[in-house]
Amino acid sequence: MRVAALAGGTGAAKLLRGLAACVPGDALTIVGNTGDDAEIWGLHVSPDLDTVAYALAGRLDVARGWGLAGDTFRCLEAMAGLGAETWFNLGDRDLATHLHRTRLLRAGVPLSGVTRDLARRLGVAARLLPMSDDRVRTRVRTPGPGGDRWLDFQEYFVRDKALVEALEVVYEGAGSARPAPGVLDAIAGADAVVVCPSNPVTSVGPILAVPGVAEALGATAAPVVAVSPIVGGAPVSGPAGRLMQARGLPVSPAGVAAAYAPWLTALLVDTRDASCAPELGALGVACVPADVVMTDRASEVALARRVLEAAATAGRRR
């Protein structure tokens, strides 16, 4: 089975580890969000792409959910001593990734080429693609004492810890961006498309904002199966609830389904949310109850198998 997955960071990494245990590496293509990318100390950082790559390479710091296991932070400490901002934590070995990426980008290598090179060096068997080689940035409008202000996503999420109210979310540059090479082909040629349990607004939303991606999801013959990141009326992690409210979406599996209509085939929801089946049915989406909270490798693999079963049950759409 050929699988194409749309992915953010932490929640996606868990499911992708499970999928990688169920699907051969050459049959799994991952389209990663780059709306969260940021420039830190002059370096191009791709948090979601790196989290996925580190997870699939078995090198992710699982306790933190980001960065490399066992990393140290001596450079961060030294930068603080030089007066630099240190709200975005970069580990010493993690810095090598960003230095390498920035060096190649400045040499004219597109982000997709850089990502392919990094994945190969890490030993990742799956194909990892950025959603676009073009610059797209998720920005959040928040209230301030002197009027509203626009924050880059990392400023909102990491620096301000998502404690400020989100009034609006936009994907700067998305309108003129093009899907990275291989993205549309992966969706069109898949036997199943999986939308990982990532934030629908700031992780999956930027991918869908790239022209051609949503259209490809609507046109593919493959079933499109998503996993809800909302359980019992709250996000499993992160600020998805507040950001969904900013988009006018209910903080529920139905809100997730509404974000992905009309191309979503089925949505895996936690067993405690099984009563939402009629709401999903009204949107034309099949409700598949499952244990969607992944607490260890066994639960990651179990959920991945349930996702693939749901796709097989749904069958091709045309």
The two structure tokens encoding residue 45? 């950082």
1-60+110-135+176-318: what CATH class? alpha beta
Q: Quote the CA–CA distance of 264 and 285 in Å, as a whole number.
A: 6
> What is the structure's pLDDT at 119?
98
Output the pTM of the full model: 0.96
The two structure tokens encoding residue 74? 């001596």
Extended beta strands in 89-240, E state: 127-130, 137-142, 149-152, 168-172, 192-195, 224-227, 230-231, 234-235
Task: Tell me how crowded residue 79 is: count the other CB atoms within 10 A of its CB.
Answer: 16
> What is the structure's pLDDT at 316?
72
> What is the structure's pLDDT at 317?
62
Task: Tell me how crowded residue 213 is: count the other CB atoms within 10 A of its CB.
Answer: 22
Strand ranges of the sheet holding 137-142, from the earlier edge strand across to the other edge: 149-152, 137-142, 168-172
Residue 148: which residues within 8 A CB-CB, separation 6 or more? Answer: 141, 142, 167
Domain boundaries, the chain: 1-60+110-135+176-318, 137-175
What are the mean pLDDT values of the chain's consecutive 10-residue runs (318 residues total)? 95 96 97 98 98 98 95 98 97 98 98 98 98 98 91 96 94 98 98 97 98 98 97 87 93 96 96 96 96 96 98 80
